[in-house]
A and B are shown apart, each in its own frame.
Chain A
Amino acid sequence: MWMGVWLAVIGLALGIALGLNLPFTIPQAYAKYMSVAALAALDSVFGGIRAAMEDHYDNKIFITGFFSNALLAAGLAFIGERLGIDLYLAAVVAFGVRLFQNLAIIRRHLLKK
């Protein structure tokens, strides 16, 4: 269990180091979609940590959830832009609420130990 957390932290640090040193940035027009996708991905990871603590972690669900959430959030923002509705707000609110829920549950699991 703790090994998974350490692995996640190491992966995150590695990814951030890699991202900061990559020679490219995203075009401005796509930055908005990328931000929503990042939020969804963050939510997915916290969801995965929570699942692992509740002992019903499923690798497939975790991986597909990660990618489908990110893509869905970005697609929603894109469609919203085309329709003239700020649909990315829906993604921000939904994933933000879930993020806090997941965090709360993880906190409780950690305190119960």
Chain B
Amino acid sequence: MNKSMYLSIGVITMILGVMLAVQFRTNRFIEQSVPADRAQELQVEYSKLEKDIRKFDREIEDLTYKLEQAKKGQMQAREAIQDELKKARINAGLVTVSGPGIEVVMDNPPSQSRRNSIFIIRDVDLLRVVNELWGAGAEAVSINGQRMISTSEIRQAGSFININLERIEPPFQILAIGSPEKLKSALEISGGLADYFKDLGIVVKIQSHSSLTVPAYSKSLQFNYAKAVWKG
């Protein structure tokens, strides 16, 4: 009885001593380190920030995707615009073009004196030829390397002819791109221009080509007065 009493007293006091010492050390440790509340607070904040990071990562992905889409759209738009620009430049005559067409060579009567103004080629003759070619569906026309554009003039200047403000001299080589048969028949129709010129003694040679090149308009276009009016 006594023995067990002493034993239990010893063991119990030892346990108490361990408890007190551990508690003492733990308290000292707590004082040195971050308080539990603060640690918890930081933990909460940390997990919140992690969630934010995930959210922003998703946002980055989303925005990157949208940006890519926009870039793709922009690329397509740019291609379309450049396509349109190319077409416009072709229409305006600012690009060298090639294709099937006819070549018309006109020269003054060989034995005639140049001063005899009735029998030499005048601006009006060239205008009529060009007009006829346009009417027959020509898509590009040039005379002696001068491309005919919307503002091109064919004008008599003394004994010379000016086209695009450049003096040109006979023989006149007219290149026209379009359906060769149509263009040719438009000129060679009986009672047409070819007959008329032959009657005057002008040498006219008309040749179809499967491929010929019409040069670009070499000067710059300037619109100082005309302003575009957009409708709609």
Output the least CB separation between B109 and chain A (Å): 119
Q: When A20-B25, A57-B5, A59-B5 are in contact, do A11 and B19 touch as well, CB less than 8 Å?
A: no
C-alpha gap A35/B25 in the complex (Å): 11
Query: Which of B9-17, B123-131, B179-187 is near enough to bind chain A?
Result: B9-17
Q: Is the CB of B12 within 8 A of A4?
A: no
Q: Is the CB of A18 within 8 A of B16?
A: no
Q: Is the CB of A19 within 8 A of B21?
A: yes
For residue A53, CB closer than 8 A to chain B, the reply is no
Q: Is the CB of A11 within 8 A of B10?
A: yes
Highest count of chain A CB atoms <10 Å: which of B5, B11, B30, B39: B5
A interface residue count range (under 10 / 10 to 19 / 20 to 34 / 35 or more):
35 or more
Q: Is the CB of B12 within 8 A of A48?
A: yes
Highest count of chain A CB atoms <10 Å: which of B4, B20, B36: B20
C-alpha gap A111/B39 in the complex (Å): 51
Q: Is the CB of B4 within 8 A of A11?
A: no
Please, which residues of chain B bring their CB within 8 A of the CB of A35?
23, 27
C-alpha gap A38/B23 in the complex (Å): 8
Interface positions, chain A 52-71, Cβ under 8 Å from B, are: 57, 59, 62-63, 66, 70
Q: Is the CB of A34 within 8 A of B6?
A: no
Q: Is the CB of A63 within 8 A of B36?
A: no
